[in-house]
Amino acid sequence: MNCTSINYKLAPQKIRSQLALSKSEQVKLIEKIKSSFTNECVMLCTCNRTEIYFEGEYWEEISHVLSKIGNFEENELGPYVMRFCGHQAIEHLFSLAAGLDSMVIGEDEILRQLKEAYENANECGCVSSQFNMIFQTAFACAKKIKTSTSLSTIPVSIATLAANAAAKFTNTAVNALVIGATGKIGLSTLKNLIAHKNVTAYATTRSRNRDIELAKELGVKLYDFSDRYKLIDKMDCVISATNAPHYTLNYNEIDNAIKEEKSRLFIDLAVPPDIDSHVKTIEGVKLLTIDDFKNMAEQNNKRKEKIALSAKEIIHLKTNELEKELAYHSFQPTLNQICERQIDARKLIITLKSSLEFSQFDAVLTALSKLLEEQNK
């Protein structure tokens, strides 16, 4: 198996977006590839990568296909292409399935996307026994890494960390208000918040009609931006993540809005800041800024890097087992002929002696000795 990959490591977003295909377009493409030059083909297409796994030495043909669908000039795509051959392709697939090759180390979404890509190819008849064995083993290995390490459970995104801080701020139910919930960070934070069962999420909007469908979809209570101070007294946590050039929450207004004495968490994920830093002088108020979460993310990334080493050891063991199994299946017709022709074992050993390194030859002799001992029992 070989793999041609255009991913975030070499290719900027503009290049990657030209290779973004719908599911139906992907199916048509792999069917065309199969009918043109190779029997086995799987295509993975996400926002961060487009990859084609294929049988045979069809590097130029695959590059030509990708250039054509992306409307690239001849050789324009070349600098952005990564090629993985044989063993490298298998290791790359296993690392990818485990989330080790993702922007966010250990993320789970890529495994779902890989399984979907495999199913698409399988339904089109573009997968045979060899690819089935490789992909299914990669999926099983990813599951083992997920269950035996904490790689996928350590949060590194600022949105996830902020939502976790809000959810854990009290030991009881948490009312959390998100200001700027339709921006990239705000929306991601809101989605992470509602994943916590103890959190009731609220959001503000400047254009109620535009965001009302989003509120319905997420099950979030939506209020006009101008009402934000009226909501603060009820909240345990207030998160602001707007693009405003000035404060969205001022000290005096917050101080006046707070009536009930209780602990409150204010989280400012904006640059420049949304929340007047003086709020932390109000009794019971704790303020966390984006820099606090960046530090947490860096610490968690370091933890993930250490755990990733353990994951790589698991991948090494599993790919080694897989490749031996593939080699055995490939050798089986020859093995049958050896048995049928009753080839002299001494000649076979002498041939191996002349072609193998000592460690390899010694391993063969040890295996044969063990086999003989077992048969003599």
Q: How many CB atoms lie within 10 A of CB 77?
A: 21
The number of beta carbons lying within 10 Å of the beta carbon of residue 38 is 19
Q: Which of 3, 47, 124, 237 is catalytic?
A: 47
What are the structure tokens assigned to 176, written together? Answer: 């959390």
User: What is the per-residue burial (b if ≥16 Cβ within 10 Å, else e) of 127-137?
Assistant: beeebeebbeb
Phi/psi region, residue 173 (left: phi>0; alpha: psi -120 to 50; beta: rest), is beta
What's the rounded Cα separation, in Å, for the pair 199 and 220? 11
* 264 and 202 Cβ atoms separated by less than 8 Å: no
Is 85 known to be catalytic?
Answer: no
Long-range Cβ contact pairs of 73-82 (< 8 A, separation 24 or more): 77/6, 77/15, 79/10, 80/6, 80/10, 80/11, 80/15, 81/4, 81/5, 81/6, 81/10, 82/4, 82/5, 82/6, 82/7, 82/9, 82/10
Helix (H) / strand (E) containing 16: helix 13-18
Q: Are 62 and 52 contacting, i.e. CB atoms less than 8 angstroms apart?
A: yes
Residues β-bridged to residue 203: 178, 222
Supply the residues annotated as catalytic.
47
